[in-house]
Each structure stands twice: as C-alpha cells, then as structure tokens.
Amino acid sequence: MSHDSDIQQERKKLKQGAYLALTHLRIYLGLLFPLAMLILGRPNVPMFAAGAVLVLCGVGLRLYSAGVLRKDRRLQRTGPYRLCRNPLYLGTILLQLGFALASGVWSFVILALVVFGAVYIAVILLEERWLAKVFGGPYEEYMRGTPRLLPTFRSIRESMARVPYSFAQAVANREHKTAVIGVLGVILFLIKYTLSLWTLPINLW
C-alpha cells in the first residue's frame, strides 16, 4: 500500500473502538497527570532537578521526532526512529515520569511508569498491526532491526546519523503544544517550590 489516500482510509479504520478510547485516555492523562503532580507535589530539590531534566529530555525527543516525521506518508526509519520504533511515545513517557519525579513523591513515579507504560504499550500493539498492514515487508524488516520502545546501545549509536529536520514540520505535527506544556509545567513547579505556595498536610509515599 503506497498511495496517500489508501493510507488515510486505513487510518480512519484504525481510529475507532479500543484505539479511539485509548487515544482519548492518553490525551486526558497527558493533561491531568502533570496538574495532579503540581497540586500534590512536595518540595524536594534533587527530585525536582532530575524531573525537570527528564521533562525537557522528553520534550526534546518529541520535537526531534515530530520534525522528521511525515505522518501517513512514508515509513520513517532514520534518526530518532532508529533509536526505537516509537520515539514520540518514549518522549511522552519520559516527560510524564519527569513530572512525577518533580512532585517529590516516589509512589507517583511508580504510578506514572505503570499507567503510562500500560497505556502506550496497548496503543503501540494496535498501531503495529496497522503499520504492518499498510507498509508490509519494509515495516516487518524495521521491526526486526529496531527496538519497540526501549533503546539499545546499538540503536542509540545508529540514531546518531544526521537526518533532515524541520521545525516547521514539528509545528505541522502540532508538537509545539507539547513543548509549551512541558516547559510551562517545569516553570509552575519551580514557582510553587520557590514561593512555598502550598503543601498538602499528608504524606503520599
């Protein structure tokens, strides 16, 4: 299958049922989880610093991945897509783990890992069947040579090769919105902890 119209038709078939429910779930979780971390967080400088770095790494990986991706047009297998087959989702998990760390509550870190890991693995498994149908043999070959989500030393090394990047393409893929949310979230955590605006009178870890 190679024509854009055919791919778009297959994409419409994918976006229903369980996949549609998971799409709504990850959108709501992506917005509400950082807000919950901000409200429930307790000041912890080392954890906040580590979390902020992780959030920015997640934002950077998503921006990089979106800037080389032509959705539903071709199979992207270079750059961040050599690192793993789902660098956008890996970036999201890093970002949410970063917010959990910034909260200063270890139980939230475990919660983020379990919840976002489960949601995105479910999404990935559904998308893999669709991609195998759309791109056939090339995607199956890509699956054999590139890890699904967790990079390996080999995939990290291979992902270092330069690839054409376009920030305009990242914006076209609406990735700038995630970047704004990530950076704004870090700033809000910093303001809360610096000014000691509120801390719940209970321990949650």
Structural domain range at position 121: 4-195
Residue 205 lies in a domain: no
Is the model's pLDDT at 9 over the cut of 70?
A: no
Residue 202 lies in a domain: no
Using alpha carbons only, how large is the chain's radius of gyration in Å?
A: 18
pLDDT of residue 199: 67
pLDDT of residue 128: 93
* Predicted confidence band of residue 42 (pLDDT cuts 50, 70, 90): confident
- Three-state SS sequence of the chain: CCCHHHHHHHHHHHCCHHHHHHHHHHHHHHHHHHHHHHHHCCCCHHHHHHHHHHHHHHHHHHHHHHCCCCCCCCCCCCCHHHHCCCHHHHHHHHHHHHHHHHCCCHHHHHHHHHHHHHHHHHHHHHHHHHHHHHHCHHHHHHHHHCCCCCCCHHHHHHCCCCCCCCHHHHHHCCHHHHHHHHHHHHHHHHHHHHHCCCCCCCCCC
Number of domains in the chain: 1
Selected residue with higher pLDDT from 120 and 2: 120
Is the model's pLDDT at 2 over the cut of 60?
A: no
Cβ pair 159, 83 in contact under 8 A: yes
Q: Give the residue carrying structure tokens 């990530």.
A: 182
Question: pLDDT tens digits, residue range 63-117?
Answer: 999 999 987 678 899 999 999 999 999 999 999 999 999 999 999 999 999 999 9
Q: What percent of the chain lies above the pLDDT cut of 70?
A: 88
Residue 46 lies in a domain: yes
Residue 204 lies in a domain: no
Mean pLDDT of the chain: 89
Residue 158 lies in a domain: yes
Highest-confidence segment of 40-49, 74-83, 86-95, 123-132: 86-95
Q: What percent of the chain lies above the pLDDT cut of 90?
A: 72
The single-letter code of the amino acid at 152 is: T
Residue 95 lies in a domain: yes
Instruction: Report residue 143 as tokens.
Output: 């699956």
Is the model's pLDDT at 169 over the cut of 80?
A: yes
pLDDT of residue 155: 94
Is the model's pLDDT at 198 over the cut of 70?
A: no
Is the model's pLDDT at 3 over the cut of 60?
A: no
CA dist list (Å): 86 to 82, 162, 186: 9, 18, 24
CATH number of domain containing 88: 1.20.120.1630
**Segment among 1-5, 46-50, 60-64, 133-137 with least mean pLDDT:** 1-5
pLDDT of residue 137: 92
Residue 201 lies in a domain: no
Question: pLDDT tens digits, residue range 176-195?
Answer: 999 999 999 999 999 998 88
If you average pLDDT over residues 144-168, what whole number do you get?
93
CA atoms within 13 A on the CB side of 120: 23
Cβ pair 6, 135 in contact under 8 A: no
